[in-house]
Amino acid sequence: MKRIFLFLATNLAILLVLGVFLNVFSGVLGISQGTTSSLLFFAIIFGMGGAFISLAISKPVAKWSTGARVIKNPQNEKERWLLDTVAKQARQVGIGMPEVAIYDATEINAFATGMNRNNAMVAVSTGLLRKISHSKVEAVLAHEVSHVANGDMVTLALIQGVLNTFVIVIARLLGGLLDNLISNRDEENEGGGLVYHMIVFVLEIVFGVLASVIVMWFSRQREFRADQGGARLAGRQKMIAALEDLRDSHSESFLPQEVAALGISGREGWSRLFMTHPPLEERIASLKSQKR
């Protein structure tokens, strides 16, 4: 909670500085101070609001998109073992018991999602349960529980929200400036027509792609942290062995886009900049390089 508070405070301070900058240079940029305040308010509401709405509905969307079945009354020993293992790990890291679910897929994968540390879900694929041993499944569960304990879902939502806010603000500021230059308008005859909206649309796409690069970088870093957490909970060798099985299976993640970044195994990207997960070789090497 302290980490999240500091993150929010830092970014609110950045937005405050941005607001002061806009008010000081509003004349140069061709916007009124009233417009500046409205723009910041609009950007914060839609930028942060959109990210947190996505976070709030992440668990039901994940259940719907994967067809995950939450284990409420264990039907066999394997389901009982899953519940007991997650419960034990949750107690070790001091979080509320997550929902535990199984979804039907041949791939070896698992993911965690949820609004906060005490309202999360850990889901595993049927392929994971069939193809690797209990000790390795334990490590995969520990990796996902570590995501929950680290607050990774909330952190990524905060980062996405702040970046959304900046994209909205900067695209509209530059859009207004370029529109005025192209149309030869002055401050008293502001733009806002078709040309302005086309410019803003293009700029939002460009800046949105750049923002995605930043989000993906944070996503990759959190995978290393979750691997370390999984090693602490289940054992370093178990975590390494589980990642090696993922690597050797040569199976690409087929998780729906809504939860693809949450899986232990991510999708391959056309560029490293847009990969949600680091290559498995790097994750294995990172664990092996750590002191015992």
Nearest-angstrom CA–CA distance, 84 and 101: 13
| Secondary structure letter of residue 235 according to DSSP | -
Q: Where are the alpha helices (DSSP H) in the chain?
A: 2-24, 26-29, 33-56, 58-66, 77-93, 126-131, 134-149, 152-183, 194-234, 236-249, 280-289
Query: Is 138 tagged catalytic?
Result: no
Q: Which residues of 249-282 are buried (b: 16+ CB within 10 A; e: fewer)?
A: bebebebeebbbbbbbbbbeeeeeeebbbbebee
Catalytic one of 107, 138, 144, 223: 144
Nearest-angstrom CA–CA distance, 240 and 230: 10
Nearest-angstrom CA–CA distance, 215 and 159: 7
The residues carrying an active-site annotation are 144
